[in-house]
Amino acid sequence: NAGVTQTPKFRVLKTGQSMTLLCAQDMNHEYMYWYRQDPGMGLRLIHYSVGEGTTAKGEVPDGYNVSRLKKQNFLLGLESAAPSQTSVYFCASSRGATLNTEAFFGQGTRLTVV
């Protein structure tokens, strides 16, 4: 089973460039999340979605946009990349947020903005 797949795995951007990170899950999960992981700061929530067509802001949403046009996909966009967005990005999905929900993570996207 593929689980949660992130594309691409590595990317180098120049300041001001834009890009889209793709997250795909094959578990028919309702909830999807985008996190960033930085040394000494742990994982911080950027945006999340509780179902197809919905999105919501997390702790650190500035500079990012998201879309959930299809249930299985959650896209994270950087409109104008900045060096502060250099990080490892993780996508996750879960069935829900109440009982017996287990979150599954992708392998991450390592993004460097120069």
Partner 1 sequence: KQEVTQIPAALSVPEGENLVLNCSFTDSAIYNLQWFRQDPGKGLTSLLLIQSSQREQTSGRLNASLDKSSGRSTLYIAASQPGDSATYLCAVITDYKLSFGAGTTVTVRA
Of 66, 81, 11, 2, the residue nearest 34 (C-alpha) = 66
x/- mask, partner 1, residues 38-67, rule CB under 8 A, reads --xxxx-x--x-x-----x-x---------
DSSP bridge partners of 74: 23
Residue nearer to partner 1 on the CB measure, 14 or 39: 39
Q: Which of 21, 24, 31, 75 binds partner 1 (CB under 8 A)?
A: 31
CA distance 100 to 64: 30
Residue nearer to partner 1 on the CB measure, 41 or 82: 41
Cβ-count burial 6-24 (b if 16+ within 10 Å, e if not): beeeebebeeeeebebebb
Contact residues for partner 1, defined by CB under 8 A? 31, 33, 35, 40-43, 45, 48, 50, 56, 58, 90, 92, 97-108
